[in-house]
Amino acid sequence: MTPLYMAFLGGGLLCLIGQLIMDLTKANITPGHILVGYISTGAILSGLGVYQPLVEAVGAGATIPLSGFGHLLVQGTLKAVERDGLLGAFSGGVEAAAAGITCAIVFGYVAAVLFNPKD
């Protein structure tokens, strides 16, 4: 099991990189850009085989950041390709991330219906 301080350190550093991107670049970087950037980068690093060692080292410190979500999508895809070939390339990602995506949409919808923005 990964110790808590490793998760803290890993997750903290990944967030710190995001902060540096927002503060030091001139372009209008919005949270949406950060999210898209992290999921894509995580997926690419996962495809290159770099992300798995990071997950082994810092555990949730690498899976909780959105780059970990990209990693999950890619690992699911790669596994499904081994199993089902070409079809797996299209089905594996959603399969692996199904719970997370469904939770996000359903909890998101319910929270939006139940609560009001403050005024």
Partner 1 sequence: MPAYKKRGSQTVVFEDPPVITSWASIVGPKEGQGPWGGDFDQVLPDYLLGEKTWEKAERKMLQQAVSLALSKRDLQVDDAEVILAGDLLNQTVSANYAARELARPFLGLYGACSTMAEALLLGAMLVDGKFFNRLVSATSSHHYAASRQYRFPTEQGTQSTPSTQWTATAAGAVVLEWEGVGPRVTAATIGKVVDLGQTDIADMGSAMAPAAAHTLKTHLEDLELLPDYYDLILTGDLARVGMAIAEQLFIRDGLVPRPNYSDCGVLLYDEKQDVDAGGCGCGCAAAMLCGPLLKKMLAGEINKLLLVATGALMSPTMSFQGESIPGIAHAVAIEN
Partner 2 sequence: MNVDAKKMHQIEIQEYQNLVDGIKPKPDVLKNCIWAFLVGGAICALGQLMLNYLLSLGMSRIDASSTVSCIMIFLAAFFTGIGIYDELGKRAGAGSIVPITGFANAIVASAMEYKREGYIFGVGARIFSVAGPTLVFGFAVAVLIGLIKVFLSS
Q: Which 3-32 positions form the footprint of partner 2 (CB under 8 A)? A: 4-24, 31-32
If one asks whether residue 50 binds partner 2 (CB under 8 A), the answer comes out as no
Task: Show contacts of 112-115: CB within 8 Å, 24+ apart.
Answer: none
Number of residues that bind partner 2 (CB under 8 A): 82
117 binding partner 1? (CB under 8 A): yes
Segment 61 to 90, residues that bind partner 2, using CB under 8 A: 61, 63-70, 72-74, 76-78, 80-81, 85-86, 88-90
Q: Which is nearer to partner 2, 12 or 53 (CB)?
A: 12
Residue 79 CB: number of other CB atoms within 10 A? Answer: 14
Q: How far is CA 96 from CA 41, 42, 59, 74, 78, in A?
A: 18, 15, 18, 9, 10
Contact with partner 2 (CB under 8 A): which of 25, 35, 53, 83? 35
Q: Is 2 exposed, middle or buried (0-12, 13-18, 19+ CB in 10 A)?
A: middle
Residues found near partner 1 in the complex (CB under 8 A): 22, 26, 28, 30-31, 117-119
